Amino acid sequence: MFVDKLKASQRQTGGRLCVGLDPHPELVPGGGREAQAVKRFLDAVILQTKDDACAYKPNSAFFEALGSDGVALLRHTVDRIHDAGRLAILDAKRCDIASTAAAYARAAHDGLAADAITVVPYMGEDAILPFLDVGLAVFIVTLPSNPTAATIVDHGSPPLYVLVAELAARLEERFPGQVGLVVGATSPARARSLRDIGPGSPWLVPGVGAQGGELEAFLDAAGSDRTLVFNVSRGILAAERPGDAARTFNKAMGRPHDR
């Protein structure tokens, strides 16, 4: 199961850090509009951070922007992540009707060899099941880290984000160890209301660092037993020494289940 592999990787690295591989052109030495320059940069980042990163999250958009070379580079990057003994969470936020979702699932699982993928749930269970059926783990976008998401996810009573978490918990019963949530570190109060829903599901947590998420407040809100994976991208990719930055973030996030 994915969650078992994730916990094993966290034990190896002693922490909860996921390095987000979002190669913004301005972060890549020499410019990030050529696939080979991005390849050299990301290979170096993975090599320098693998002792502290329990997982990596390549963001599909930045690779797709490079055209066909970028798609090949994305597969190469997933291979390098696996060579490092770590998990690859494809950040693609897919959402579509079942037949199209099935094609996206084959692309992520068979074509790219990802271990997990982010999905948007607003077309319902049909948009999620194809990913689980091929063997991928899914992280369902529940509480995004961007501020305007509240206009959507706060709607209703109970709010939409609670309904999404409950959907994820039902899917977890059918696919144990394969279903997680995306819960932004920028919303610790909302996160607290989710802590008792699907307690076995891991949370992928964006928003630490550049987006201003407060780590301590979020850890208190999530609870001590939850499997948490904190994503940091620019805070590491923009660092002069990515390995040192990863080590600092990983230490700050605390050891799994120590809190």
Annotated active-site positions, please? 93
Structure tokens at 136: 């991928």
Q: 124: closest CA among 163, 89, 155?
A: 163
Q: How far apart are the first and last CA of the chain?
A: 24
Query: Hey, how many other C-beta atoms are within 10 angstroms of the C-beta on 76?
Result: 15
How far apart are alpha carbons 139 and 230 in whole angstroms? 13
CA dihedral 18, 225, 195, 3 (to 10 degrees): 50
How many of the other CB atoms lie within 10 Å of CB of 4? 10
